[in-house]
Amino acid sequence: MPNTIPFFKTTITSTEKVLVQDYLQSTDSASSKKYIELCVAWFKSNYKLEEFYLTKSCTHALELAALVADIQPGDEVIMPSYAFVSCANAFVLRGAVCVFIDIRPNGMMMDETKIEAAITPKTKAILTLNYAGVAQDYSVITAMAKKYNLLVIEDNAHGLLAKQNGRLLGSFGDISTFSFDHLKNITCGQGGGIAVNNLALLERFYLAYEFGTNRRSFFNHQANRYEWKAIGSNFPLSELNASMLYAQLLEGENINAAFVRGWDQYFSALKPLQQKGLIELPIVSNTDEHSGHCFYIKVKDKETRKALIDYLTEKDIIAQFHYVPLHSSEFGQKVGRFSEDDDFTTRESARLVRLPLFHSITAQEIDRVVQEINSFYQLV
Ligand SMILES: Cc1ncc(COP(=O)(O)O)c(C=O)c1O
């Protein structure tokens, strides 16, 4: 009986133990910010992000982004419906209306050409999602945002170290967010990050990030009182989590390379099935260096997807589907609306299957998944 190939295994390298142990043994563990500062320095030097901060999750970073963007009840935020629920909740928490945009027929990204028609006088921001670590077309999106004076909030949960035209994803938004949860390429168990790339937003950011207080100004001797100033929360990541995160950031390029290697192996091995018209492979534009965060195929329809996932499960291989479009839920309809027609979101998401891909997956395991997919197609 072959071993089960899980859908995902959390990335663990050899260095986390050493750095976490170092944190546990430090005499000033209650006040130390050594690893937080090392992580931030890593982002500043590798990412050239001037203002980067760690958060407890990407969900938190998105909620913080909504505060920093000063989203008010009735404001509208444009976003893909094919997205994680936190992308919408962050704004709904502030009373905003979600305006969902269809995805492109190729790939699973929001269709940039449909944004302009969705803009109204109430539109405040565009949320972009670099799905599977592949970039949106930021030349179109930033031009649109500039024309209508909108903020771009870039959800880069999937795209750490991925690039568009040589520029790192996570540097395109006025605010960009990151995830280091246990299902991401690089993880500290649960964690996130936020880059404030539009420096005009910094004042509001500082207040919201630290409990809604002027703590930062107070400690920098720019204020003589430490007081409550605005809505905020306890957003910063703990030093303990940061010690694990720093270990993985040091290995960041190698970790992503392992994901991309697995991704490339699936892509070449499954090409014959695409050539026979049985499946579709992901589309990555030539200008993108993606992160290999997830590998998906598209099958004929929802029924074929169920049959394939069931078949693979019988063979001890765990494959999964992904987001259920946000506008398809009762709650999504209450707090949002779909702009124009849903030509592709429902149809394409229903036929998407994600295959096992993780840092420690072996070439033999990927071969086994591909062989079983081939066997499935010999049977149908
Ligand atoms: C696109 C996207 N954004 C945000 C999140 C939330 O990330 P976190 O678990 O760090 O809150 C996820 C979670 O998978 C995600 O896929």
Assess whether the C-beta atom of 84 lies below 6 angstroms from ligand 1.
yes
- 179 C-alpha to center of ligand 1: Å? 6
Atom of ligand 1 nearest to the CA of 60: 11
Decide whether any atom of ligand 1 lies within 6 Å of the 157 Cβ.
Answer: yes
Q: Where are the alpha helices (DSSP H) in the chain?
A: 16-25, 34-47, 58-68, 85-92, 138-148, 202-209, 215-219, 239-250, 252-275, 302-314, 330-335, 345-350, 363-379
Ligand 1 and 182: CB distance under 6 A: no
pLDDT at 380: 63
* Closest ligand 1 atom to Cα of 323: 16
Residue 136: Cβ-neighbour burial (10 angstroms; 0-12, 13-18, 19+): buried
The alpha carbons of the chain give a radius of gyration, in whole angstroms, of: 21
Nearest alpha carbon to residue 122 among 370, 336, 359, 341? 336
**pLDDT at residue 60, rounded to an integer:** 98
Task: Answer whether 357's CB lies under 8 Å from 259's CB.
Answer: yes
Q: Residue 87: which of 7, 156, 159, 181 has the closest Cα?
A: 156
Beta carbon of 57 within 6 Å of any ligand 1 atom: yes
Calculate the CA 43 to chain-centre distance: 16
83: Cα separation from own chain's centroid: 9
Mode of pairing for the β-strands spanning 192-196 and 52-55 = antiparallel
151 CA distance to ligand 1 centroid (A)?
20
Tell me which residue has its CA closest to atom 7 in ligand 1: 58
Separation of CA 17 and ligand 1 centre (Å)? 25
**Cα 278 to averaged position of ligand 1 atoms, centre (Å):** 31
65-100 as b/e: b if 16+ CB within 10 A: bbbbbebeeebbbbbbbbbbebbbbbbbebebbbbb
Choice from 179, 182, 188 to test ligand 1 binding pocket (greatest atom count within 8 A of CB): 179
Distance of alpha carbon 164 from alpha carbon 359, whole angstroms:
23
Distance 86 CA to ligand 1 centre (A): 7
Q: Count other Cβ atoms within 10 Å, centred on residue 139.
A: 12
Q: How confident is the model at residue 30, as a pLDDT?
A: 76
The pTM for the full model equals 0.97
**Whether residue 176 has its Cβ less than 6 Å from ligand 1:** no
Ligand 1 site, residue 181, Cβ cutoff 6 A: yes
Cα dihedral 160→183→358→377 (10° resolution)? -110
Q: Nearest residue CA, atom 8 of ligand 1? A: 58
Ligand 1 atom nearest to CA at 191: 10
* pLDDT tens for the 380 residues of the chain, in order: 569 999 999 999 999 999 999 999 988 877 889 999 999 999 999 999 999 999 999 999 999 999 999 999 999 999 999 999 999 999 999 999 999 999 998 889 999 999 999 999 999 999 999 999 999 999 999 999 999 999 999 999 999 999 999 999 999 999 999 999 999 999 999 999 999 999 999 999 999 999 999 999 999 999 999 999 999 999 999 999 999 999 999 999 999 999 999 999 999 999 999 999 999 999 887 667 999 999 999 999 999 999 999 999 999 999 999 999 999 999 999 999 999 999 999 999 999 999 999 999 999 999 999 999 999 999 76
- The predicted pLDDT at position 339 comes to 98
List the end-to-end C-alpha distance of the chain, in Å, as a whole number: 24
Cα(157) to centroid(ligand 1), Å: 6
Residue 369 to residue 355: CA distance in whole angstroms: 8
What atom in ligand 1 is closest to the CA of residue 59? 11
What region does 92 belong to: left with phi over 0, alpha with psi -120 to 50, or beta? alpha
Sorted by where each starts, the structural domains of the chain and their CATH numbers stand as 16-250 (3.40.640.10), 253-379 (3.90.1150.10)
28 Cα: distance to centroid of ligand 1 (angstroms): 32
The CA distance from 261 to 98, in Å, is 37
Atom in ligand 1 nearest the alpha carbon of residue 58: 10
Measured in angstroms, how far is the CA atom of residue 130 from the centroid of ligand 1? 11
